[in-house]
Structure 1
Amino acid sequence: MSTHDTTTEPAEPAESAERIAPASPERLIYFSDAVVAIAITLLALELPVPGAEAHGDSGVQHFLREHLTEYVAFLVSFVAIAMQWMLHQRVFRYVSGLSGGAIRWNLLWLLLIVVTPFTTKLLTSEADAFRIQFIAYAAGQALTSLAFRLTVADLRRSGLLRPNAPRSVIAETLAWADATIVTFTVSIPRRAGHALGVPVLGAAAADAEDPAPRHLTGRGRPATTPRAAPTRNQPPTHGT
């Protein structure tokens, strides 16, 4: 009686023979919603509240007027984060899967969302560097919209938007993101380079016209070297 070798090699997993299915977007959507909610909560926690030093109605009113800037900044940042969340959910309702690039860009988007409470507090702090404070806030908002736009671009490039996704909705959403990028970018002060210690074009041109070194005094005026007063009846000097 002959024996036959019935040993067979293990079958390859189906994933190696077929294309691995993209990750489901539901977990990333839920995670993003939670992070956005936490960021808005952090914004509210930073709001100044009257303490024992505010006596009576007039004291509370004075405190609220004194911190009006912080309250306005809170509202602006709340609207900015809410708008980012609205744009996110408008696109991700039509997402069928996730690519590695889309996940990474989305995580960067969430990082910038979480940083918004910090840049808001920095903007309204008592530091005497408003130009740098404003640049940090405006750059953070512009980069947040840019990260979202790169997320959508990766989804479109990977073909992970559903076929029934309305083109008008996607185009309108990207237009809003582009408008945010442009608005906050152009709002950065023109002399931002000086705030960061980088000479800008205008300053370079001024230095080119006046090559003499400038030693600034306390108020920014060029320091002048006192000239020697002319002396009367000074005998001429003769070479030897």
Structure 2
Amino acid sequence: MSHGQGQEQQLERLTFFSDAVFAIAITLLVIEIHVPEPEGHGDGVWLQALADLLPHFLGFVLSFVVVGALWAAHHRAFGLLQRFDPSLIWRNLALLMSVAFMPFSSALMSTHPTDRVPEMFYALNLLVSGLLQRRLFRTALRPPYVREDVPAEDITVMNRRTLALPLMATISFILAIWVPGPSNFPLVLMPLVVTWFARGSIRRRSTVAP
């Protein structure tokens, strides 16, 4: 096996393992939603039982989007690499650990949607995940590990996008101190913030370009 093939195999193993952890974490989100067992019969009883699960449904959707966004960014970033860096292993594992922990923090938040500590705990989990993702990308997306055909501007945009989750999680954490429950609203806006950061990089490049 050549050195290049060995590098490619190491990257594939790291990527496949990461994909598996993301898939398991995103599956466990729905497992935390337990089938209701209402006392009594009739449509009204069942509708009320499902209504009681609404915070869990909303928590599932929110966490699914967050984990999905983390995986999509991870997928894009590792698709730009051509060489394996051993320092990526533990940085990647740290990110995966925070992602694997998310079903618990999501279930805690969904079970107590108006309590301060569960809301802050959930936001803190997302903040840690966002910071670990940013640390991983700043390590991985640099020469000579990035493919030579990848424009430097693309790396800048990708690194700027990693600011979105830490920013929104920090705002959510602060809001949870005073208004737990609605404090998760900033997280819903995260896709817009990601786009805003990306466009900010594009506008700056256009201004600097001759």
* Counterpart residue number, 2:72: 86
Label 1:171 to 1:57 Cα distance change in 2 as closer, same or farther (>3 A). farther
> Deviation at 1:78?
0.2
After superposition, give the CA deviation of every residue in 1:188-238 in whole Å (9 maximum; x if it has no partner).
13686xxxxxxxxxxxxxxxxxxxxxxxxxxxxxxxxxxxxxxxxxxxxxx
> Deviation at 1:156?
3.4
Structure 2 Cα separation of the partners of residues 82 and 54 of structure 1: 38
Counterpart pick for 2:54 among 43, 46, 68:
68
* Counterpart residue number, 1:103: 89
**Structure-to-structure mapping, 1:195-214, within 5 angstroms:** none
Q: Is the 8 A contact 1:102 1:152 kept in 2?
A: no
Structure 2 residue 35 is the aligned partner of structure 1 residue 49: yes
Structure with the higher helix share, 1 or 2: 2
Label 1:52 to 1:69 Cα distance change in 2 as closer, same or farther (>3 A). closer
Q: Which blocks of at least 5 consecutive residues in structure 2 are unaligned?
A: 178-210
> Deviation at 1:170?
2.7
TM-score by length of 1: 0.65
Structure 1 Cα separation of the partners of residues 98 and 119 of structure 2: 16
> Deviation at 1:24?
2.5
Structure 2 residue 100 is the aligned partner of structure 1 residue 114: yes
Q: Is the 8 A contact 1:73 1:120 kept in 2?
A: yes
SS in 2 for 1:159: coil
How many percent of aligned residue pairs carry the same amino acid? Answer: 29
TM-score by length of 2: 0.74
Aligned residues: 174
Structure 2 Cα separation of the partners of residues 123 and 21 of structure 1: 41
* Counterpart residue number, 1:151: 136
Counterpart pick for 1:184 among 160, 169, 175:
169
* Counterpart residue number, 1:161: 146
After superposition, give the CA deviation of every residue in 1:23-47 in whole Å (9 maximum; x if it has no partner).
7210010001111110011101011
Structure 1 Cα separation of the partners of residues 50 and 7 of structure 2: 55
RMSD between aligned alpha carbons?
Answer: 2.6
SS in 1 for 2:111: coil
Structure 2 Cα separation of the partners of residues 191 and 74 of structure 1: 19
Report the AA paired with residue 138 of structure 2: A
Counterpart pick for 1:37 among 17, 23, 37:
23
Structure 1 Cα separation of the partners of residues 53 and 137 of structure 2: 38
> Deviation at 1:158?
5.7
Structure 1 Cα separation of the partners of residues 24 and 88 of structure 2: 22
